[in-house]
Amino acid sequence: MSWSGHWHGYGPWTGSRDTYGQEGLRRPGANPNDEQTRSFLSTTMPPMMTGHWLLRRSQTAADRTWTDVGDAMTWLKTTYESNPPFKRDDGKQAYAALDTKIVYAMDVLPRGVDVTWAHYTESSSLTSFTVVCCPNQFHPEIACPMPPN
């Protein structure tokens, strides 16, 4: 797979499982001016399809737009460390280790595959953060919200 582009970071979003489960709020509507799309654009909840983050132009930031995958990885790692997953009482691992996540992300991001890391925190909140490839292979019709300088 050949891909050339840059990356945008979104999140972290932190909230309850019940809020996250409101899938209707996580999908844009059929057209740009309908109520569903307006609601989708105004929320910070992660979209059902990662490429739809690019529709939320107001949530795209220059300091979270990267041309170097290493910078995107630094943001993912820092965000993860600021929002660590809960630890099980029995000592077993609840999620893939950070090193495993980093190896996977370093493999797929340069090939144009979006990466989302989501987990429950010690406070029982769900947190989710994403690096989206731009242009997006699965949503090529969505224009870049903030081309890199």
Sequential pLDDT tens for the chain (149 residues): 689 999 999 999 999 999 999 999 999 999 989 999 999 999 999 999 999 999 999 999 999 999 999 999 999 999 999 999 999 999 898 999 999 999 999 999 999 999 999 999 999 999 999 999 999 999 999 999 999 98
pLDDT at 1: 62
HSE-CB at 133 with a 13 A cutoff on CA atoms is 20
- Return the HEC string of the chain: CCCCCEEEEEEEEEECHHHHCCHHHHCCCCCCCCHHHHHHHHCCCCCCCHHHHHHCHHHCCHHHEECCHHHHHHHHHHHHHHCCECCCCCCCCCCCCHHHHHHHHHHHHHHCCCEEEEEEECCCCEEEEEEEEECCCCCCCCCCCCCCC
Q: pTM of this prediction?
A: 0.95
pLDDT at 113: 97
pLDDT at 149: 80
